[in-house]
Structure formats: C-alpha cells, structure tokens
Structure 1
Amino acid sequence: MKTPLHCLVGLLLLSVIGISEPVHAQKLDLSFGPVETWQPSKVFSTEEQADGKVLIAGPFTRVGGRAATGLARLNADGTLDEAFTKTAAVESTIWKVRQFANGRVLVSGYQQIVVGGRTYNGLALLNENGTPVAGFSPELAADNYIVTLAVQADNKILLAGFFSNVVSGQTHHLVRLNADGSLDKPFMAALGTSFVSNYTSSPYTNNEVTALLVQPDEKIVVSGRFQEVGSYSRRGLVRLNKGGTVDAGFVPALPSGPNFETLVHHLALDPRSNQLVAATYNLGSTSREGLYRFTNTGAIDPTFQAALPLTSSGTSTISDRSLAVDATGGVLLGSDEPLSNDTYLIRLLPTGAIDSQFAVQQLDNQVGNVEVLANGDLLVAGSFSRYGNLPQASLLKLDNAAEPRATYRPMVDVTGSVTSMVQQSTGQILIAGRFREVNGVAAHNLARLTLAGSLDPTFSLTGTDGRIDQLLVQPDNRIVVGGAFLKEGNHNSPLVARFLADGQPDVAFYTGLAIPSYFPTDMLVSALASHTNGAVLAGLRIRGYESIKLYRFLSDGKADKEYERNLGAGIKDVNNIAVLTDQRHYVTGFRYNGGIVPYMARLDADGTPDQSFAPAPNPVEQYSAVIEKLLIQVDNKVIIGGFFKEANGGYLTSKLHRLNTDGSQDGTFVDNVTSGGNGVSRLALQADGRILVGGSNAINGSVYRLNSNGGLDASFQGKGLYNKDVYNLLVQADGRILTAGPFTEVDGQPRAGWARLTGAAVLEVGHQQATAKLEAWPNPVRNQLYLRLDATAAPRTVMLCSVLGRVVYSQSVSTSQIQVPVGNLAAGVYLLRVEYADGPVTRRVVVE
C-alpha cells in the first residue's frame, strides 16, 4: 500500500521539531554503524608451490579474517601466510599468478596494478618472500591487456592479449619478455606479423590469442582466432619452436565447416605422453563445446572420444586454467555454465567417457580454475560459494572421488553486496543480498539492523542458501524474498520464500517451482511486489535460455493459474513491478519486435490488462530504450527512470520521465537529461515529493535529488560525497537516507558499502499546523480512542498512520466527536492527523 504524502509529512514534522540544521548540509551520519558485510570472493587463479603452499589471485580483500587484497599465499593447511601477504602489499585485483622455478612470483591484472607501493602496467614480479624484484620493468603500456601468460624454463615470459606499443604502429596479441621485462626482440622478429592486427582499441579482434602452453621440450602451443601464422595455414591452433618460428611438423586437424569456426579456449598436456588436450567452442550455426586430444603431429587421437557435446559457452579469459589432465590421463574441465551432466565440473576417463566415480556435488556457480596438486588432489576455484552441503566456499580441495577435504577451509572474502533494504513498522531495517557475515556474525543473505546499524540479535539469521535479489515486507510483517536460492534455512523454497517477522522460515509458503538438478547461475528474481491479501507478484527466470516470466503466487505459495490465464503471452522479460493502492499494478520489461523493444503495461489485480492505460505516444515504446526503475507517486502518477532517446531520435540519454494515470507523458515534469549519467540504479520518494536518484553520474554524483517537477535540486550536494556508485536507497521514517553500494568512502570517512546521510536528508517541512483544537484520550490506548474536534474549524478527515506512514485508519467527519477503533492494531507509536479547513493538526498516539 502506498503512503499518502500528507501522512509522511506529518510524521517528518514530528521527527524534526527542534532541528535547525540548514537544508543543504547533508552529511555522513556518524551515529550509524559502520556496518560490515562479507561474502565469498571469486578466485581467478591458483598456483601450488613446491613446498605445498598455494598462491591465489582474485578480487578478494580478506582471507581467513585477515586483510589480504588481490594476492595471497596459503599454508598447506589453508591458513593465510601473513608474512608474504603483508610484504607483497598488493592493492589491486590480480587476475593471474605464476611461479618461476626459482620461487619468484609473476602476477598480472587489468591494465595498471599496484604492488608493493609501485604501479605496474599490468605485470609485476615478486621475490619468493613477496618483495618486488629490483630491475624488473616490463615494456608494456598502461592500456595493455593481458589475457593469459606462461613462464618458460629460462625465465622468459610469454604474454597473450592486447599490446599496442611493442612495435611502433602495430598491435600485437602475443609477445615474449626477457626475465627483466624487456622485449625479446629476436622472438618478436621471428613471429613477424603473425599475431598482429590493425585494430588499436580492443583485445577481441582477429589474431587474438586465447591460450598458451609451454611443452617440456620448450615448444610453445598457441590458440586463438587466426587463420595463418607466418607462411603456414594454421586455423586457431599452432605450435611454435622455442625461437618463435612455426613448428611445421605439427598440423592440427581442428573441426571446421562453412557455417562455424572452432575456437580453442583452453589447453593442457597429458603428463603420461605430453599429448595436447584442447577445449574448444564452435562459433556459428552449430555452436557447441568439444574436447580433443591430439597426437604429436596434430592429428586428433581417435582413442579419446569425449562424451559431449556440451552446452557451455566456455569460460572467461579471466579464468584461464579450467582444463587439466591428471597423472592417470583423466581430463578435468570446469565451466561457466552447466556441462552435459548438469554440473560445472566433470572428469573424463582417458577414453573420453564420463568418470562416474568422480561424483561432483552441487555447485551454485562456475568453476574457473582446476589444478592437479602434487599429491593427486584437485584444487578447484571459481565463482561458486557452495559445494553440496558445504557452505561459504570458493576454494576447495577435492579427493579422487570429488569429496571435499574437510580440514581445508580457507575463507576467501570480499565485501558483501546488499541488493535490497526495507524498514519494518518497528523501525528496524531489513537487509538482503549476497553475504555470509554481518559485523562479525554469520548471516546467510538476510539480516536485520537496529536504527543505530548494529545487528539485531532477536532476528534469526538462517536466511537462504543463495543470493537474494529482492525483498519486501507484507502488511502482516511477514518477509518475502526472491533470488538465486533453493532453501530458506532447511526448508525447500526455491527462488521465492517467505519468513516470519522474526526471520524464521515460514513453512506454510511453498512455490513448488521446478528447478533443474544443477544450480543455474543465471537464475534470477528481477522484481517482487505484494498484494494486500498476501499474494506475491514476481518476475522469475529459472534457466538462462528462458525469458523472465511474471508469476502471481497465492498466500500459500501456489501459482495463481487464473492470473496466468488472464495475463496471456504479451508480458515477459519483466524487470519492474509496482502495485497501486487498488491492487492494479504496473509492469515493465522487453519484447522482441524486430529488435528489443521495451514495454510498460498496467494490469488489474487478476492479471487482466487495464485498457484505460494507453502509453502512446510516450517515451516508453522506443526501440532500444531501457526502463531501469519505476516509482509510483502518492497521486498515482508514475516516474520511470532509465535510458531514452532524445526527441530528435539521437543518442540514448539517462533521464527520468513522469506519466499521468492514463499513460500520457506529464508535460509539467521538466527535462532532466544529465550528461555523464550511466543509468538509474534506484529511485526513492521523499515526503515532500522530491525524488532521490542513485547510480553513477559524473556530473551530479552517486546520489542526487530532483525537485517534484523533475528539475535538479541544487540544494542537495551529492557530488563528491561518495567515492563510488550508490545502488540502493532507503528513506527512513525520520527522513534520514540509508545508502548501499560498492563505495568505500563517504564524506571523507571510510565506509565499506554502507552509510546513512543526515542533515538535508532530514527535511524541513513547510506545512504549517492549524491552530484548531484537538483532544484525544486515553493515550496510551488499548481498544478505543476518543476524539473531540474543533467544530468551528471545519474538520474534514481523521487519519491514523503507522510510524512508516502507512494509513491504518481513515474517516471523513462532520461532527465534533468521534471514536477510532485501535484494538486490532499492533502496539507502537502512531500519528493521528486531523485535516481542518485551514490545515492539519497532528498528535502522537501510543497503542499498547
């Protein structure tokens, strides 16, 4: 139910009496928090050392509860080697890590990285103890891009990617550096223009290199998107001699056809025979994945017939070690998407058959790194956060049967992400997203904070076994969440679940949605809303190839079949739902009509299209436009935020529009195009009708405010307040603004993704109270509240509102005495508001 503006204004008026701070002085509220959330981090790369320690690289900032950014070394038992990590002093995300035979450590990242207090152009070399190697100065430019790398026995370094400066006027995709970082000019001369493109702005071009491998005989295997190397025809795969010339004796026989191109994205060697194994992906009309083993001459080994095709599209270039071969010839493959046996990791026998003894348990996301350890165990890393019943894990050791080594549990973390915030009627704040810990306490993606930002100990933290995308509180205070999860606590409730007000699972609610045996990484709840009868509206995608469908679940969780029939096939790929007080609801999304075209519809409560809403002409039905967020005002006009074309059909620009209740554009809402805008992440309506916008905007800042007519509110100084974007906004009942996002600093103070603003966030209210009399008794009250009104002041309406502004009682009046029933209300503080001819009169009422 939407909150009337005048009710919120009254609440704010009561909350700000005595506050004289200027309206422009918004600032960090130091009384809130700070709040720290943590989630399992991705691990991009691993490297086992000879002593059993393991180097790991990724976007993490904490390992084992200790500070560790980008690069860490783990002891054999999985604990952090603090001395190495502290000495390395990495301040950037590291993508790849390799170790030289002499113990030195080579690391790479995206363009510029900071290691040991020094900025490197994507590549740094450390001694075994973590100190920078003196004299190592790679000849790379700041805009260079490293896709993968390899270390040779002579300590020379092979790099694949995008290198624009190694030879004047040319862009190379394969280079070799000497041990000191200087360019190996003889090798580059031998390569000639084999891996050179004329493009200067993208690493994804012809002649790009996707994988590298150095054989024990020092020959170099290279894969990528190329047709010729030197004077030899080599389509996608070539072997070079040590000096950089083509090995004419290796002629790979990759599958080819007129309608597809075979791309090799990972390489490995069979340690039994040094035969090459390649993971491929066919680009074109017959897209599929393949695995091949080659003889020493490049012919496909007929004794290896992989039990494929796979439906995966391969793994990203960030994760370049998804393929490995163990000592028995077993082939291990991790992937971004489920493989043919509905998992993200498989092992094939030396014959190519799936190894049924390697019983992989359920993973909830991709496996990007697979490394066979010296003792035969498998080190597995990636974007997953759960393996079977083992939670909070993105780095695992598996035995020969794919059982996890229970004693190896390194906790690799990054700051948690909060996707939704809601304030309950009690004033406490619910947060949901992807996190495993809040303020040092284990919490599974759902938690409750006090108004001071501390964790509420009375709220259950069992949460869900996967990410929460959406959160809402129903009128009876039950909590509904939607996201990429299968369970709430120990209760099966895939994608959409309901909790009691104290955070305990509500087992009476069960959707029964059919979920695949694997865990789809792109499972998504894009939107969530509630009807007053307890029914839940949700935009759901269960599998990646499906559109985001609109569902209505009844109060017990069962799908509303009548709603589904009324809805028809026109509503799909839903990204927003907003409900009016009469239970009609707006839905936005996309349709395919010669291109991706957005739509906006209004539906009756039963799903029937509301024909009185005819949005044409308006900014919605534009080819390529994007509606990111929508917000219903108190007067039922609706604000839509996103990217829209200019009137002349020019470029898409980030802006907001307001539509009238019939769908026509509201001409009183001024043009608010702001250059430097990268979209609208969140909208929030303040009690005075002004609009808060969160996102990324180089001109206005991560949070800015519009006046009620759409014009920029210059009194709100948001620029420079945050050092990064704001993705979530919540206007509290007292007017303070709660924000969340990837920022680390607010108003010059450290804040890890959470902050509350005060000052201008607590608004001055221009409404003057009437001088009419109002008597209310008893107060506190249990059952019946008695009112005596000022008949001479012409009373019009009596309204009772919750602390969040929700109207719980409203009645037109014409007499001076009235009784208000309150026995059915929850205990708490309420606002009594009487509208007189010359303005309102308000009182606090306490219900016991």
Structure 2
Amino acid sequence: MVLIILAGQPATAQTLDPGFAAASIYAPGQVFAVVEQADGRRVAVGTFTRVNGTATPSIACFNPDGSLDATFRQNLGPASAAFRVRKANNGQLLITSYAFDGTLTIGGVSRQEPVRLNANGTVDAAFNTGTGATKAGRRSYLNDVLALPNGQTLVVGEFDAFNGVPAPGIARLTASGAVDAGFTPGTGASRAIGTIVAAPGGKLLIGGYFQRYNGTLCYSLARLNADGSFDNTFTRGRAYNSVDNIVVQANGNIILAGDLNGPHPTLDRLLPTGANDQTFAPPTALRAYSVASYISDAVQVQPDGKIVFFTNYDLTGLGIPRVGRLNSDGSLDASFQAGTGPSLNPYALALLTNGTVLVAGQFTDFSGTYNRPLMQLTSAGAPDATFRPLIQAPGTVNVVAQQPDGRLVVGGNLSEVNGQPVHHLVRFNADGSLDAAFSANVVLGNRVTGLALQPDDRVLTLSGGVLRRQLPSGLPDNTLNPQGVADFPSRAILVQPNGRILVGGSIGAAVRVSAKVVRLLPDGSRDATFAQPETGPGSLNQFETMALQPNGKILVAGSYIGANGQDFRTLVRLESNGTADLSFQGREFASSLQFSFFSLAVQPEGKILVGGSFSAYDGKARAGLVRLQADGALDAGFTPPAFSGTINKVLLQPNNRILVGGGFTSPGLPTNLLRLLPDGQADATFASTAAPDAGVHTLLAQPDGKLVAGGSFTSFGGQPRMALARITAPNVLHVATPRAVAGHTAVWPVPAHATLHVAPDAAAHAQTLDLLDALGRTVLHQEFSGASATLALDTLPAGMYLLRVTYAEGIVSHRVQVQ
C-alpha cells in the first residue's frame, strides 16, 4: 500500500503548463455561398481563416484551378462575418453579414451591410449604406440582396427602416447606397422576406414567411412591379407555408423550394402567370423541408432545363445522396451520380459556365473526399479533382480522455494537427506532441462528439451520431457490431465498470421518434437485461446527456412524456436494469431561451450537478448550473454565481471543488472557465490568469492535478493555444487535510483480495469512501455509517486502484493493489 498524504500548498494562480506543447489545430471551414465571376474566378464567403495555408478570413477568391487569387486577397484586407455574396454590375460583388446587427468588417473598416466590392477585391467607397437596416430603433439584418442592371440594389430582411428612412422589410438603394424614394412597397410584407430574384419585364419575385404584401393575401410568394407595388396579375391557387429559394428559368417558369404544401410539398414549378405547372412531377422522396436553404441557393437550373438541387436529408437509398439532378419534367436524372454525397447538409449551390457545379457547406466528407467544404462536381455529379482548395478554420475539441499511460485521446472537429492531416480523432503524448502513428490510422468522416475508453485501450467514438470503435493503434475495430442504435443518432456513450456500453440518442425534439438509452455488450450486441421504457408517461422524448452513479444507477437528462402527455424537461434515474427508479423525483427545468442539458456530475455524497442552458429548476431561478439532492429536489444551499451564457462541462475535482467550463461570463469572475467551492461560491484561488478567449467544451483532471481543457478557443491567458490547453492550478487534488487525519486512517489488508477494510480517524468527520480504477472512474462508493467500513472487491479485476476517503476536513487517498 502506498499512502498519499494530502497536505496543503501555497495558493498560486493557475498558469499554462510549459511542459505541454502548444498544438496547431485546424478544421474544415464553413462556406456559406459562392459565385462565379465572368472570368471564371470563384468568390466564396463563410467562416474560415485560412485557405491553402494562407491567412484568408471570411472572403476568398479562387482561380479555376483552386489556387488563391493573391491580388484579390491583398486588396481585400482582413474581413469577418461575410454571409452571402451576390453578383453586381461590372463584376462587382455585394456582401451581406451573418451578424444580427448587420455589421461587416472588410479592409479593417466596419460598415453596415451590404458592402460592395470591386472585382479586384477593393471596397467600393462610393457605396455606403450608412446605419443600414434597423428595427424598432436597433440595428437589424438583411436576408438577401439583388443588384439591378441600372446599378441600384434591392435589399430584403428583418427591418422597418433603412439608414433612417422607413422601409417595411424591403428597400431599393441608389448606386451610392441611399434609399430610393421612388420605390413604394406600401406596408410591405407582413413577416420577413427571405429571398428576392429578378423576373422578366423588370418585375421582382419575393419569397419568405409572410402572409400578405401591402395588405393583399399572397402566402409567402409575391410578384412585384419594378416600383415595389404588388402585381395583381400574378395569381396562383396554392398557399405556401414558406418559400426559401426561387429560380426563374429562361422560359419564365419559376422553380420554388421550401415548405410548399400540396402534391409537391418541397419543390414545385409555376408557369409565368403563377399557375402550377401540371407537367412537373418531382420524386415523392423530396418530402417537406427536404429542398431548401435559408443561407443561399438550394436549386440551380442548367441551360438544358435540368435542375440541380440539394436536400436536407440523406436519401442515398432513394438515389439522392443529398445532391441530385432532375430532368426538366421533374423526374430524377439517374445519369447524375454524386456517390455517397456530403456527410452533412450543404448550404449553397453554384452552377458554373463550364457545366460543373460547386457545392458549399460544412461537410467533412464528400464521397470519400475529406475536409473540403467547397467541392466541384463534374456535369455527371462526380467529385472533380481539378478544384479542391483547402479551406480551414481553427479546430474544435469536443471530448478528451486520458489513457493509463498518460496519453490523451482527443476528439472534435479536427482535420489538421501540427501540419498532419487527421480525421477528427487524435492522440497526444503526455508532453503535448502528436502521436502521429495513431492519428494517421484513424479515418472518421464526421466530427467526434462522444468518446469513451475501454479497459483494454480500445476507443469508442460517436462520429456523425454513429457508434464506432478504434483499436489501440487507431485502426478501426470491425468486431464491434452495434445493435439497437442504428435508428437514431447517438449523442452520448458511457462504459460501465463491467465493460458494458451505454448509448443514448434521439431524432429531433419536434417529433417523438426513437429517443432512448440502450446498453450493449462489449461486442456491440444488445444487452437484453436492460430495458429502458420507450413509450407512455415517463418515457424519453428527447435525449440530452447521461451520467453513471457509483452504485450503478444511471442519470438521464432530457425531455420526457409527463402524465398529461406533454414534454417535461428534467432528469430521471434508471436502475441498473433500465427500469425507472421511482425514489428519484426530478423537477422541471425551464428556460425563456434555447434549452439544453450538457453536463452531469455526481458528487461523492450523491448530490447531482447539472450544467447547460436553462434559467430555472422547480420554479427557482438557476442560470445554467444547479445542484440537486440525491432524490432530485433542489439543493437550496448550493448558490453558484449568476452566469450569462452556457455551461458545457461540469467537472468534479478529486477534492470536491467544481470546475465549470463553457461560453459564459459572470461579473468579476473568470470568463469561460472558473472553479467553485463545494457550496457553489467562487473559488478565489482560481483566478483569471489563464482564461480562454472562447468556449470550453470539455475538461479533464489528470492524476497529477494538472487540468486539461478543450474547446473552440484560440488563446489561453493571452498566449496562443488552439482548442487544447493544459494548466497547472492550486487546490485540484487536495485541500489542507491535517496530517494527523491521514496518519490515523487505517486501510487493510495490503495487498487486498476479496475485501478491503477502512477505519477512519475517529476524531475527524468521515463521510464517504470511493474506489477509483486506473482510468479515474468510480467503481465502488459507500457512505460511512459507523466506526469502520468494508468494501467487497470480489467482482473487480486485479490491478492498482485509488481509495479516496472524504472527510469534512479534507480528503485522504491510498493506492491499493487488488490481487
């Protein structure tokens, strides 16, 4: 037995660990929109910072071979928040912003959208929108813009004034950016206009979410005269819920995408008069909301009348791997073969003059081509290798776990680490250097959102919601055949001490479809002894996250069906066989904004920490962090600071202090990462000396007391750290436990076999016993109820364990060998 006496240390602020090398971590960027210029160059906008290894934020111009147009880049200067790009006159470009206040930064100058660029990338100083779009006196945003042949510009969006002039969600700007008083839309649209395109004869088509235009019923689609007045000659017999994309064909026919109702609920065609084109019959597979983009264009029409489109569902089994083409009559064009298509929904399509198609988005795999969010397809739909620019953004670490040898397995949105191409799961050595061999063996097409280590060093991952397993070498373990989890995207995995695997997931919150927790045997087969209820009151409607208790019970956070049939956001506790533990009565969480559970942590005495995005529990105000009693009641004695933002991770340190990471602020306290005392008060020994500049997604306390943080940050304590950092901090492993308490804590026999006996210091206040395995997981937990305690070890495998004795005065730890 090795006795570890936990004595006090001087309280010094946390610092970056100089023994852990900073890594260069990148991920595929996001491309929101792209257009082709007259000379064949392509301009793309999105959230990216680097192109082909060159710093290129938000806006990039490519030559036809995928190389970066360096002159355009130099002329443009630094840029941020670019969202849509539309072609204007003489090769000029109109850029909109994804910021809700409509602000764009280009060339180091912040201006209101839209900003007009010259063809060479310089900002057109002659075009200035002043204060831009505003609503109720506050800055607002645009949804779309349209350049007119005479140099004027139409803007639509969420506003009631533009540059101080009243404008009902639509306005026409002069060549200088001033509001044109000759455009008279009256009261405009009753709700937001999402898109605007030119129609024959100088007329305009608008789509969106409105019911009326200038008082006339039109159900999300209207044709306007050039002066903005409603065109009463455009009539149709179908009401649409929303129209998100509009394309006018050369013959004047109109292609619509959105939530369209009727026989073609997602993609339809109208005649120039507005009547439905009865000759158009798209596949029934294109169900509601399948074809649409709120960001840019989901539909393009070729000169031969064929229609290229993308869907919001993977319909590979029906011949539509998210990208497809229709013949002019709407039938599926089987000659267009995009392979397995993109791993995630595209954002935009652009049809090029040479007959190829650009597909933009945030996908990480397109038919086996990895980490290229802007793909060019041949006229037959195949990925075109002649145009594959490398578009990147800083990477994100979502999950991290430490192996017994000290190496860190890291998952997230990762495509390059220290210059080496990777596929979302990597391993770092203890000094922060990349384990290049392991990382090169992993090929995962989607970002990793879940991670768990098995005792034999095999690695379980959730990538794209699919459960997979890697061998210790990083190669895929094809012996895992998960059963019962293929019908829902998985969101969380846990490995129980006996090696069985818990998997939780769900399909959306709007429709009750297969939200559940299942348990698998180590080979992936379904554990028939575990049966979590799937229907009726108390069954899971939406899975969020879960945690294991030391006694084998399982806490599950999500949305449940209440006795009245309504959603009830709370925690439930399952017995080890999956049945409901009726002694646990979770109360309802509430939020006035976006709601989610992100992290659960169980304290040694059984209390439960819940972190996420919520504002109240059981009617009591609690912003993002709450502690529950062991029976689910609110622990009113736990009073954390007031958080503004989201708690992503709650980590219980070995000494029972609480590390909290996320994207949040709290007055007078560190941002995004702070530590609390056991009663919830801020820990004054954890200062702002090593604060991340952006969100923290995951946390890990190493056995030596160092803390590992992963997230979306690019600096830590003002020093460059991309997505992963390790810090040293006081008060991680211990508090000032008196040495006499440690000396009076008896543990026998050594080594241990079937049982382990513990006699605490009679003069101190012993509370709990915990036995942790080599991975830091609690395998046994017991409350002190007398002068001594006995732990049964007969079900545990041989090895080295850590016994943790928690006193009111602090914590004493022993290393215990079990034979």
Cα distance change of structure 1 residues 176 and 703 upon mapping to structure 2, 3 Å threshold: same
Contact 1:237 1:252 in 2 (8 A): no
Partner of 1:411: 390
Q: Which amino acid aligns with 1:275?
A: N
| 2:656 corresponds to 1:689 | yes
| Separation in 2, partners of 1:78, 1:765 | 58
**Which residue, 234, 252, 261 being the options, matches 2:235?**
252
Q: Decide which moves more: 313-322 or 496-505.
A: 313-322
Cα distance change of structure 1 residues 50 and 459 upon mapping to structure 2, 3 Å threshold: same
| Separation in 2, partners of 1:55, 1:21 | 56
Partner of 2:142: 146
Contact 2:264 2:281 in 1 (8 A): no
Query: What does 1:365-514 correspond to in 2, within 5 Å?
Result: 365-460=344-439, 461-484=441-464, 495-512=466-483
**Which residue, 169, 172, 178 being the options, matches 2:174?**
178
- Secondary structure at 2:529 match in 1: helix
Partner of 2:639: 671
| Separation in 1, partners of 2:395, 2:175 | 39
In the TM superposition, what is the alpha-carbon distance from 1:57 to its structure 2 partner? 0.7
| 2:521 corresponds to 1:533 | no
Contact 1:426 1:803 in 2 (8 A): no
- Secondary structure at 1:452 match in 2: coil
| Separation in 2, partners of 1:233, 1:596 | 35
Partner of 1:193: 187
Partner of 1:307: 283
| Separation in 2, partners of 1:129, 1:623 | 48
Partner of 1:490: none
Contact 1:733 1:804 in 2 (8 A): no
Contact 1:230 1:246 in 2 (8 A): yes
Contact 1:11 1:734 in 2 (8 A): no
Cα distance change of structure 1 residues 690 and 235 upon mapping to structure 2, 3 Å threshold: closer
Contact 1:472 1:479 in 2 (8 A): yes
**Which residue, 540, 556, 562 being the options, matches 2:529?**
562
Partner of 2:11: 22
In the TM superposition, what is the alpha-carbon distance from 1:11 to its structure 2 partner? 8.5
1:225-284 Cα distance to aligned partner (Å, 9 max, x none): 445545866443333333434445x4131513xxxx44222111223x23322224137x
Partner of 1:580: 549
| 2:106 corresponds to 1:115 | yes
In the TM superposition, what is the alpha-carbon distance from 1:760 to its structure 2 partner? 3.2
Cα distance change of structure 1 residues 402 and 843 upon mapping to structure 2, 3 Å threshold: same
Q: Which amino acid aligns with 2:336?
A: F
Contact 2:245 2:293 in 1 (8 A): no
- Secondary structure at 1:102 match in 2: helix
Partner of 2:560: 591
| Separation in 2, partners of 1:356, 1:330 | 12
In the TM superposition, what is the alpha-carbon distance from 1:693 to its structure 2 partner? 1.2
Cα distance change of structure 1 residues 583 and 212 upon mapping to structure 2, 3 Å threshold: same
Partner of 1:754: 724
| Separation in 1, partners of 2:292, 2:268 | 20
| 2:208 corresponds to 1:224 | yes
Q: Point out where structure 1 has 5 or more consecutive residues left out of the alignment.
A: 1-5, 196-205, 486-494, 517-522, 815-819
Partner of 2:221: 237
| Separation in 2, partners of 1:452, 1:167 | 55
| Separation in 1, partners of 2:600, 2:716 | 27
Cα distance change of structure 1 residues 458 and 76 upon mapping to structure 2, 3 Å threshold: closer
| Separation in 2, partners of 1:329, 1:721 | 56
| Separation in 1, partners of 2:811, 2:620 | 48
| 2:134 corresponds to 1:162 | no
| Separation in 1, partners of 2:238, 2:781 | 74
- Secondary structure at 2:531 match in 1: helix
In the TM superposition, what is the alpha-carbon distance from 1:651 to its structure 2 partner? 5.6
Tell me the C-alpha RMSD between the 2 structures.
Answer: 4.3
Q: Decide which moves more: 216-225 or 442-451.
A: 216-225
**Which residue, 124, 127, 134 being the options, matches 1:133?**
124
The count of aligned residue pairs is 778
Partner of 1:740: 710
In the TM superposition, what is the alpha-carbon distance from 1:513 to its structure 2 partner? 5.2
- Secondary structure at 1:160 match in 2: strand
In the TM superposition, what is the alpha-carbon distance from 1:168 to its structure 2 partner? 5.6
| Separation in 2, partners of 1:356, 1:213 | 30
Q: Which amino acid aligns with 2:11?
A: P
| 2:59 corresponds to 1:71 | yes
| Separation in 1, partners of 2:618, 2:633 | 19
In the TM superposition, what is the alpha-carbon distance from 1:458 to its structure 2 partner? 4.4
In the TM superposition, what is the alpha-carbon distance from 1:373 to its structure 2 partner? 0.8
Q: Which amino acid aligns with 2:481?
A: Y
| Separation in 1, partners of 2:806, 2:569 | 42
1:435-476 Cα distance to aligned partner (Å, 9 max, x none): 222222122111111233221234244142222221111233
Partner of 1:203: none
Partner of 1:552: 519
Contact 2:550 2:779 in 1 (8 A): no
Cα distance change of structure 1 residues 761 and 396 upon mapping to structure 2, 3 Å threshold: farther
| Separation in 2, partners of 1:287, 1:303 | 12
Cα distance change of structure 1 residues 234 and 793 upon mapping to structure 2, 3 Å threshold: closer
In the TM superposition, what is the alpha-carbon distance from 1:115 to its structure 2 partner? 0.2
| Separation in 1, partners of 2:203, 2:410 | 54
Cα distance change of structure 1 residues 515 and 397 upon mapping to structure 2, 3 Å threshold: farther
Q: Decide which moves more: 85-94 or 395-404.
A: 85-94
**Which residue, 616, 641, 645 being the options, matches 2:611?**
641
1:595-638 Cα distance to aligned partner (Å, 9 max, x none): 32124333332223334x332xx645779986442212233333
In the TM superposition, what is the alpha-carbon distance from 1:676 to its structure 2 partner? 3.9
Cα distance change of structure 1 residues 683 and 772 upon mapping to structure 2, 3 Å threshold: closer
In the TM superposition, what is the alpha-carbon distance from 1:65 to its structure 2 partner? 2.3
In the TM superposition, what is the alpha-carbon distance from 1:76 to its structure 2 partner? 0.5
Partner of 2:697: 727
| Separation in 2, partners of 1:103, 1:623 | 48
**Which residue, 87, 90, 94 being the options, matches 1:102?**
90
1:139-197 Cα distance to aligned partner (Å, 9 max, x none): 3147231111111122211111023333868452111112221112212xx323234xx
